[in-house]
Chain A
Amino acid sequence: MALSIIRIFRRHGRQYVKDLRKSFIAEGFRGRPVISSDITPDEEKSAVNVCPVGAIISGPFTLDLGRCEFCMECSFASAGKIRFTNDHRLATNNRENLIIKAGEDIPITIDQAKVRKEIRSYFGHALKLRQVSAGGDNSAEMELNAAGNVNFDMGRYGIEFVASPRHADGIVLTGPISGNMAEALQICYDAIPTPKIVVLAGTAAISGGIFENSRQTNRNFPETFRPDLYVPGNPPHPLTFINGILDLTGRK
């Protein structure tokens, strides 16, 4: 038995991603899109028509990553003039930064001036988060779980998900907010001591995504509380989430 355990450990090896700040995801991953400046009006039109969530509008031509479900259909419809790069750094505190403009290839970053002061002084060394799924489809939830697993191990930064809102410094919301969860979400938010942060993880949480205009969702929460961080994705990749949190809290 002891021998076989050693054998398993050997093959298991070191699993953790050494440098979460520098590591990247292989080509093919659907990350930050870049719209070619020579996209033709016809290609624009077919991209607009094909998008299931109205994330693309023309005049001027833009793609809103806060609404995007990352289905790639616009890329296929525009002969690749909209290209999804493998840049996983998508999180920002400024909703405007999620609007991708044609001909621009600019990394998405945190707007330093907009970060509330207390975030860095209180949460710069450790951050405990309470996750609430409100109509989430369990993919974003699984990726948030993965952020703490043996590979990504964000616990190394003192960042963790906790069981009670009383122990938490903020809330990470997933899902479009089902009407049936609106009250529980509010109660949970209220139970977190101030100062606290609000993180919207995944397209559904940011804008409702494909669930926009469903009669069974309730979008009051993100309209009442200004989110501190938007983490786009369907679902957001653990590296997107972790780097977003680290950038927001001013970590190296």
Chain B
Amino acid sequence: MTINTNPFIVPLADIPLFDYPEFFAKVNELMADEGCHCVTYHAVPLGAALRFFCCIATDHKKDFVLLSHEQAAPPIPVLDSLTVSHPSFHLYEREISELYGVEFTGHPWLKPVRLHNQEAGSRKQKAESGIIHPAFRIPYPFFSIEGEGIHEVGVGPIHAGIIEPGYFRFSCNGEKVLHLEIQLGFQHRGMEALFLEKNTGIQRAVLAESIAGDTAAGHSLTHAQLLETLAGITPVKALQIERIIALELERIAVHIGDTAALCTDIGYQFGQVVNEALRTIVINTTQSWCGNRFGKGLVRTGGSHYPLGGGFIKLLLLNLKEVEERYLQITHEMFTNPSVLSRFEGIGKVSARQAGMIGAVGMAARSSGVKRDIRWSHPFQAFTDIVYEPVTLHQGDVWARAMLRKQEVEKSILLIRDLLTGKDFEREPARPVYELNLRPSSFALSLAEGWRGEIMHSAVTDPHGKIIHYKIKDPSFHNWMALALAVRNQEISDFPLCNKSYNLSYCGHDL
């Protein structure tokens, strides 16, 4: 079934249900088109069966194809793996396997995604009841390379700086990295289950902001528009614009902060301090808007506690002008400085082919020449009234990821300015609405382009309109693999720089 709105809702009964072989063939057929990528593939326990939903976005046609298949469980379903033909499915299948014990024949390695450390707890019970894949009962299995002069370097889960935990294992030949394996899951807080357990509108809003605190606006926007779709509400234009401004302010702040961090990692202190100070201006502007530097509390369902007012709009435009001028100066300085360029250019290269294969989204895709941006392909909120042309760079190296940030900051500032000119924000401010009547027996999905890339939230309701399944996907889900590929054949000392150039989310991945 083809759908052309984002977000969207469909009655469960209308979603085409295929036999697995037919489903398999259809997915393969769709994914053969390089302009397609899978935005979610997950399973939902419905009665005694597992229902699998797969949503594929056709970027150039700007629509979605939604398909599903169903398996009785128990017994443990055994299915042919889609990863064999489309590597970007590897994590989807691992996740399904970890949660429901499904076997995917031909999958290269059904490793745990998030539950590896839990020998004693829920995993053991699952193992005993037979619904967990046997491979997960053993300690986390790392890929290892053997040979003369090959050694391994393990880092984590706690790292040297103030940063979230994750474990990196490098297989090196001398100083050269042959392979990096990234083991995540340390931040797993049981997010998706909490969305069902804590079920007031406010609890869910607070949860959405905590999926990844550096993407509070992105995730809460994706969540809000999902619930509004389920409730059949269309936000008024002014509210849509406010949300986009919140989203783009977040992008500007993080991109500038990352510009600073990249400077730090190459020992370019001048760039670091100047950019740090600019980021402060941006997040303090967000704080003047809503009282929180990260925009927590800003995006809510049905309305807002912080409608844009004349006074704040003035401050916002003034601050953005200041930031724009100074950011242009410092980035011009950076990108013409030979010692900066020599550390950025050609480091951590990921090709367009690789990015496509792993299903990279957002910045990770666009810096490797893959034009993928939900603001352009599947416009949401006020983006439906604008033609947004994404920045795409083909170099795929640290330079491209730094340059992409620079260009996106400029674009986002222009965008905010455009959104604010000639608009009348004086309106009866609608307060948030938390008591929502959700459409029963439906499947809904919402996408937004956060600063890292595409954020996906999806929910299924029961016949009473209660949410019985909530699924979240942060862009980092796919993009961590890009980092692993970027450091191949690099010096191990280039890892921090490559890592910074992606700045992926641990908690967003781990949920």
A-B contacts at CB below 8 angstroms, number: 192
Q: Which 9 A-B pairs have the closest CB atoms?
A: A139-B213, A137-B213, A216-B190, A163-B160, A52-B203, A214-B190, A180-B117, A150-B273, A30-B291
> When the two chains form the complex, which single residue of A5, A25, A52, A133 contacts B165, counting CB atoms closer than 8 Å?
A133
- Residues of B bordering A, CB below 8 Å: 114, 116-118, 121-122, 157-158, 160-165, 185-190, 193-194, 197-198, 200, 202-203, 205-207, 209-214, 216, 257, 270, 272-274, 276-277, 280, 287-288, 290-294, 296-297, 305, 325-326, 329-330, 332-333, 336-337, 431, 505-507, 510
The distance in angstroms between the C-alpha atoms of A161 and B114, with both chains bound, is: 28
**Least Cβ distance of B256 to chain A in Å?**
13
**B161 A179 Cβ-Cβ under 8 A:** no
* Interface size grouping (class) on chain A: 35 or more
A28 close to B287 (CB less than 8 A): yes
Report chain B residues within 8 Å CB of A150: 272-273, 276-277
Decide: A52 and B296 in contact? CB cutoff 8 A.
no
Interface residues of A (CB under 8 A from B): 1, 4-5, 7-8, 11-12, 15, 25-26, 28-30, 50-53, 69-73, 76, 84, 131-146, 149-151, 161, 163-164, 175-176, 178-181, 183-184, 188, 204, 209-211, 213-217, 234-235, 237
Contacting residues, chain B, for A211 (C-beta < 8 A)? 189-190, 194, 210
**CA distance in complex: A17, B405 (Å):** 28
Shortest CB distance B185–A (Å): 6
12 A-B pairs, CB-CB below 8 angstroms? A11-B326, A12-B277, A15-B280, A29-B287, A53-B203, A72-B297, A133-B164, A136-B187, A150-B272, A179-B118, A209-B210, A211-B194
B157, closest chain A residue (CB) = A184
Question: Which of B121, B210, B297, B510 is the most central at the interface, judged by chain A CB atoms within 10 Å of its CB?
Answer: B210
Task: Given A52-B198, A138-B505, A178-B186, verify A72-B277 contact (CB < 8 Å).
Answer: no
A179 contacts across to B, CB distance below 8 A: 117-118, 121, 188
Give complex CA distance A29, B277 in Å: 19
Docked Cα-Cα span, A28 to B296, in Å, equals: 13
Q: How far is A26 from B291 in the complex, measured between Cα atoms in Å?
A: 9
Q: Are B116 and A180 in contact (CB under 8 A)?
A: yes
Flag if A137 contacts B212 (CB, 8 Å): yes
CB of B210 within 8 A of CB of A76, answer: no
Q: How far is the CA of A16 from the CA of B330 in the complex (A)?
A: 19
The answer to whether B277 and A183 have CB atoms under 8 Å apart is: no
Instruction: Given A12-B326, A138-B506, A180-B116, check contact A52 B213 (CB 8 Å).
Output: no
User: Which chain B positions have C-beta within 8 A of A139?
Assistant: 213-214, 216, 294, 296
Q: A180-B186, A184-B157, A211-B189 are in contact. Are A137 and B211 (CB under 8 A)?
A: yes
* Minimum distance in angstroms from A47 CB to a CB of chain B: 12
B505 touches A216 (CB 8 A): no
Q: Is the CB of A72 within 8 A of B291?
A: yes
Q: Hey, which chain B residues are within 8 Å of A215, CB to CB?
A: 121-122, 190, 193
Q: Is the CB of B213 within 8 A of A151?
A: no
Q: Is the CB of A144 within 8 A of B186?
A: no
Known: A73-B202, A210-B198. 12 other contacts (CB 8 A): A5-B270, A7-B329, A12-B277, A29-B291, A133-B165, A136-B507, A137-B210, A142-B257, A175-B187, A178-B187, A184-B165, A214-B189
Complex Cα distance, B334 from A4, in Å, reads: 11
Are B291's CB and A84's CB within 8 A? yes
Chain B residue contacts of A213, Cβ below 8 A = 197
A32–B459 alpha-carbon span in the complex (Å): 36
- Give min CB distance, B383 to chain A, whole Å: 25
Given A73-B202, A76-B431, A139-B216 in contact, is the A151-B280 Cβ separation under 8 Å?
yes
Chain A min CB distance to B166 (Å) = 10
Is A135 within 8 A of B507, CB to CB? yes
Contacts of A71 on B, CB cut-off 8 Å? 202, 205-206, 296-297
**A33, B507: Cα distance in complex, Å:** 29
Cβ-defined partner of B305 (8 Å) among A69, A72, A140, A151: A72
Q: Which residues of B contact A25 (CB under 8 A)?
A: 287
Contact partners of B325 in chain A: CB under 8 A = 11
Q: List residues of chain B with CB within 8 A of the CB of A52.
A: 198, 200, 202-203, 205-206
B294 touches A235 (CB 8 A): yes
Nearest CB in chain B: distance from A23 CB, A? 13
A210 lies within 8 A of B207 (CB): yes
Cα–Cα distance between A171 and B332 once the two chains are bound (Å): 40
* Contact A142 B193, CB 8 Å, known A5-B333, A7-B329: no
Measured CA separation A11–B198 after assembly (Å)? 48
A28 to B422, CA, bound (A): 27
Nearest residue in A to B210 (C-beta to C-beta)?
A: A137
Chain B residues within 8 Å of A149, by CB: 276, 280
From A8, A29, A135, A184, contact of B274 by CB (8 A): A8
Contact across chains for A234 and B296 when beta carbons are under 8 A apart: yes
- Taking a contact as CB atoms closer than 8 A, the residue among B212, B288, B506 that contacts A28 in the complex is B288
Distance A161 CA – B159 CA, assembled complex (angstroms): 12
